Structure 1
Amino acid sequence: MRFLLIIKATEYSEAGLADGKDYREAMISYKKSLAKKGALLADEELQPSSTGLRITYPKKGGKPQVLAGPFPVNQDLIMEYMLINVSTEDEALNWALRMPVPKVRGKYEIELRRLKEKLESIQDPRIKALEASLQDQLNMLKNL
């Protein structure tokens, strides 16, 4: 099962302030642990919303409106995300609870969401076969 760990933006992340060395090192160690278990599929940090655009659509047709950031932090902005692949929701929750939290940044929020598994994919079936083969090899290496 794939889960998305969504780390919400804070006033600090939106201001572009760097986290402390201890937190950065703890987060690197955490991500290495996920990778070593073969659970980490993706890990990306987003630029502050001041560099983004938001497209809104009117309720009854009409042209979309494009708004330039920054956007208010209270609008559930995302700072970072990690995509993990684990066996159960409990395992995903345990990984989320192990994530380091900065000590001096005030409220910190992580949202855990399961991805829907697609029955059909537009992805080339040859790529699917390669991914399955690679996953088998990773599982074999984990068991050594």
Structure 2
Amino acid sequence: MKFILIMRATDEAFENMGEFDFDKMLETVGEYNEEMIRAGVLLAAEGLADASEGVVVDFSTEPPVVTDGPYGETKELFNGFYIINVSSKEEAIEWAKRAPMTGPGFKTEIRRVPTIDEFPQDNEWIQKERAWREAHGQL
């Protein structure tokens, strides 16, 4: 089963990251990534650029409103993710508990990533996506 581990931090925790030794942080994250690679569970992992470089497209009006980041009164920022392939939610939880960015204000949200097989296979769009995935080695 695929799960996404969404790395989140409060605004305060994110600001405090500047106090960390960057080289030490890279080493700690690198060791965690290497551990997941050795275990054969890591499919993808990415950090995200600062929220000030992003935008939000808000669809609550017509036309949608685009707002430059940072996004005002956010309670938490999504700052990276891992996609892992494990046998259960419990295993995903165990990997999340070992994540390197921990402490007050840091959280990891765990969500299962459904497979294409869970969608109606007679749907035209699912068939097109399956064909694209097969053509690109994504199944």
TM-score range, shorter chain: 0.7 to 0.9
For residues 17 and 52 of structure 2, the distance between their equivalents in structure 1, rounded to whole angstroms, comes to 10
Instruction: Indicate the residue corresponding to 2:5 in structure 1.
Output: 5
Instruction: Indicate the residue corresponding to 2:55 in structure 1.
Output: 53
Query: Normalising by structure 2, what TM-score?
Result: 0.76
| Structure 2, unaligned runs of 5 or more | 118-125
2:43 to 41, 44, 54: 41
Provide the aligned length of Structure 1 versus Structure 2: 126
**1:15 CA drift (Å):** 8.0
Instruction: Indicate the residue corresponding to 1:19 in structure 2.
Output: 20
**1:32 CA drift (Å):** 0.3
| Structure 1, unaligned runs of 5 or more | 133-144
Bigger drift between 29-38 and 19-28 goes to: 19-28
For residues 73 and 40 of structure 1, the distance between their equivalents in structure 2, rounded to whole angstroms, comes to 33
Q: Runs of at least 4 residues of structure 1 off by over 4 A?
A: none
Cα RMSD, aligned residues only: 2.5
Q: CA deviation digits over 1:16-40, x for unaligned, max 9?
A: 7373244432221111010111111
Instruction: Indicate the residue corresponding to 1:112 in structure 2.
Output: 110
Q: CA deviation digits over 1:75-123, x for unaligned, max 9?
A: 43211101101111111111111112355xx321111111111124612
Instruction: Indicate the residue corresponding to 2:95 in structure 1.
Output: 95
Percent pairwise identity? 28
Query: Normalising by structure 1, what TM-score?
Result: 0.73
